[in-house]
Chains A and B, each alone.
Chain A
Amino acid sequence: MSTNIISNTSEWTFELIERYHNEIARVAANYGLDTYPNQIEIITAEQMMDAYSSVGLPVGYHHWSFGKQFLSTEKRYRRGQMGLAYEIVINSNPCIAYLMEENTMMMQALVIAHAAYGHNSFFKGNYLFKTWTNADSIIDYLVFARNYIAECEQRYGHEEVELILDSCHALMNYGVDRYKRPSPLSLQQEQARQQEREEYLQSQVNDLWRTVPSRVTPAGKKVRARFPEEPQENLLYFVEKNAPMLEPWQREVVRIVRKIAQYFYPQRQTQVMNEGWATFWHYTILNTLYDEGLVNDGFMIEFLQSHANVLTQPPYFSKYYSGINPYALGFAMMSDIRRMCENPTDEDREWFPQLAGSDWVKSLDFAMRNFKDESFISQYLSPKVIRDLKLFSVLDDDARSQLEITSIHEERGYRTIRQALADQYNLGSREPNIQVWSVDRGGDRSLTLRHTQYNRRPLHGDTAGEVMRHLARLWGFTVRLETLSEEGGVELLHECVNEKRRH
């Protein structure tokens, strides 16, 4: 047996990385993981900090907020308050995974299994990534974006560009399409040209700012055509297309920020699944290597320690508690799906008849492909996981003086906990629901946003005010923010009067 062991030392070399990679690739292929080609890059800790501060993008435009991120990462790292993440992986084709030079051989193997096969296959297979991100062209787009913005900075001064970027960043989370789906790629390409033409025509007859003649109803009451006809969820898109005062280059900058926001949107929606999936696979793959006698006991002990660290879930009363650890929850659920397929109990048969006894590789693959965090939890969170994690739900209602424990890990609580947890991962309820409500085309050109309250939760007043100022900068005219309460009352929250006119 011992002759098969790949290495006995914790030092890594390029040859060893290659050998480990080959073994991991072989095992992953046996489990049917479908991935983009891998590009594994060895980097230093400093470079890792750089990668960190550019939100993991290998190429990024320049902005002070990345500098701020870098400074705080650097400070915490230098003082030892924070270890750097072991890995960063980029959803691109080929899929770029970074290995840090400081890591041990075991850690490099773990990262390869986790990032280059776990995350990579998730990026390639999950429907959200397939729909919303284009792994083939993202690097090219980022290069384009950086060059474009650098060019704008040269031409218009970097302060000008920075102002626009600041404002766009404030609205970045509202620069994504949530509900609308793009049409399939081939059709999309086909439409691209047509759309171009259409846009050109529209720019010729941009009837948006032509004062619309008001129709006179028989009763003599003026009725104005509503604009937009329906509320718009993608604020940056709306700004890009409709803001009256933006220069063409400013629209392009808005578009760049919006595109990047959209690129990251699937990642924000699949944190639990993505990490759970990658963690499940590094665990499974490395254990397979161990079973095959390719790695020794020392390797496994070191591995299990790191693995356990990643999965630590402090209980709610711990001072280290900071919410549910997505690695722990995701790994527990992924492992539980496998368990239910292989060794179902009666409870599992009752709850998950479709899983019990099925091929676990296929069932997991199906789960990975077709869900996001919210739907994944509401579909697959099993009573056993709820019991293992001892989940309970707390109702915080400002109308009451105390919190109420509504459900715990018991028979009558499973469904409500599952529902509440799924809801917790629903970006739609985590982020305030704010949409473009109307534009006063015939009047002062003011833009009105409407916040629709959910569970009576109000907006954070201070930050909302600041964001509105950013929006006013982009829009160029007065902007308003209304809130629609659950009882149906509408209240004006903020108004930024902007009389800026350019000649």
Chain B
Amino acid sequence: MAQIIDRRLNGKNKSAINRQRFIKRFKGQIKKAVSDAVAGRSITDMESGEKISIPTKDISEPEFSHGSGGSREMIHPGNVDFIPGDQVDRPSGGGGKGNQASNDGEGEDDFAFELSRDEFLNFFFEDLELPDLVKTRLTTLVKQKSVRAGYTSDGNPSNINVVRSLKGALGRRIALSSPHLAGVRELEAELKQLVADGAGESPRALEIEEEILRLRGKIRAIPFIDTFDLRYNNRVPRPQPSTQAVMFCLMDVSGSMDEARKDIAKRFFILLYLFLTRTYEKIDLVFIRHHTVAKEVDEEDFFHSRESGGTVVSSALELMRDIIAERYPTADWNIYAAQASDGDNWNDDSPICRDLLLGSIMPLVQYFAYIEITPELHQSLWLEYLTVKSACPNFAMQHIESQADIYPVFRELFKKQTA
């Protein structure tokens, strides 16, 4: 009469589609919540899922219901000392009015739920694309790897495949010599017969010996190896996309960069990093910090050690240029750079920075982003960078003041470029 069925192995994600529908429908609100989350939360949360809340009123499903007012009689349990005719004050919060008592106390203003990490990041990166990504793709297609593709009969001597060539030569030799060899064997047999018959000195025998010598000469004349035999390893180039990128983080750590500014810079770097992780399999990070001199450091030092002193931005750019030349050939690496600074620079140095960028860095990098974190007016560096910006489409610069500016700035920097 009863059937007992084990359904545990059936899919458990029956609601996945409905969940997607929900997220799709409230995209706008969720996006805003994500944006707020980026501004308000610490970096470590970025890699995890996110608790998102959106206003309940936006997602409510309306239905006809009674409002407050009118007259109604309600039954409640648990009477202690009421007697008929008692008058009591209305409980605050309108208990006894409204729809259900349970709706009153709770005050659920927001509908909260969890986005998975992927969903969160998808919202975060939605319709962002690295600038010139199309270009990047095209350029990376040019990078090719040669792969084996059998053998070919011509090529350059260093590609000669010895075994294959000698095999060919052997075959050729056997093929060309076999008719002569057969003749030789025949004549030798006849000669042997003549000798056995005692006619070894007959003219016929001499004739045969001569003929044998002639044939052996012909066999010897077959070349051991001929150009015809040569086989070369064949390699064809196959386009291979480059899947690695290097990201240079440049930061001013002079005394004027305080913790708050460093924190903003850090967020910016991490956002860029997160974005790159979605495009490239392998990402190298290079941290360069500078005051009057630049130094390559590890991440911990980059963000946390304290330095002071003046500011010479060009030192960092020079170091970056050198590192690229040394370790990151542009054929293999997509190079991105992000620079954060408070805009302070030694005045005479700014033109040098500009020339460095224009002359030796911008041609190498996919993208260079500069953010200036300062509530004050721009200084010489900003002005010089403006000329770089006008000259190079893959150079971007932004000015931000507070933590909450990061997300919009980030979007602005990497917003989808219409092809």
Contacts and interface: CB of A to CB of B under 8 A. Distances in A.
B89 A64 contact: no
Interface stretch (B68-76, B142-150, B270-278, B360-368): B68-76
B71 A403 contact: no
24 contacts: A37-B1, A39-B2, A40-B4, A41-B6, A50-B13, A64-B21, A65-B61, A66-B18, A67-B18, A67-B19, A70-B15, A101-B8, A313-B78, A321-B76, A395-B72, A396-B96, A398-B68, A402-B87, A406-B84, A451-B64, A456-B70, A456-B71, A457-B67, A464-B62
Interface in A179-196: none
In the complex, which range does the number of interface residues on chain A fall in? 35 or more
Interface string A339-383: 000000000000000000000000000000000000000000000
B162 interface: no
B156 interface: no
Nearest to B71: A397
Contacts of A461: 67
Interface stretch (A17-25, A205-213, A237-245): A17-25
A54 B100 contact: no
A271 interface: no
Interface string A297-318: 0000000000000000111111
Nearest to A96: B5
A390 interface: yes
A402 B12 CA distance: 52
A403 B25 CA distance: 43
A315 B89 CA distance: 18
Interface in A87-116: 94, 98, 101, 116
A463 interface: yes
Contacts of B23: 67
Interface of B: 1-8, 10, 12-15, 17-26, 59-80, 82-90, 96-97, 99-102, 105, 111-114
Given A17-B4, A39-B5, A396 B15 contact: no
Contact of A63 (B21, B74, B90): B21
Contacts of A54: 14-15, 18
Given A64-B18, A391-B77, A459-B66, 6 more contacts: A173-B63, A391-B75, A392-B79, A398-B68, A405-B88, A464-B64
B18 A395 contact: no
Nearest to A29: B1
B64 A463 contact: yes
A267 interface: no
A64 B111 CA distance: 14
B40 to A, nearest CB: 20
A37 B3 CA distance: 8
Given A162-B25, A169-B61, A392-B82, A455 B15 contact: no
Which of B2, B22, B26, B101 has most A Cβ within 10 Å?
B2
A455 B74 contact: no
A71 B14 contact: no
**10 tightest Cβ-Cβ pairs between the two chains A and B:** A315-B78, A67-B22, A457-B70, A67-B18, A322-B102, A466-B62, A71-B113, A456-B70, A460-B67, A46-B12
Contacts of A459: 64-67
Contact of B3 (A38, A49, A399): A38
A50 B19 CA distance: 11
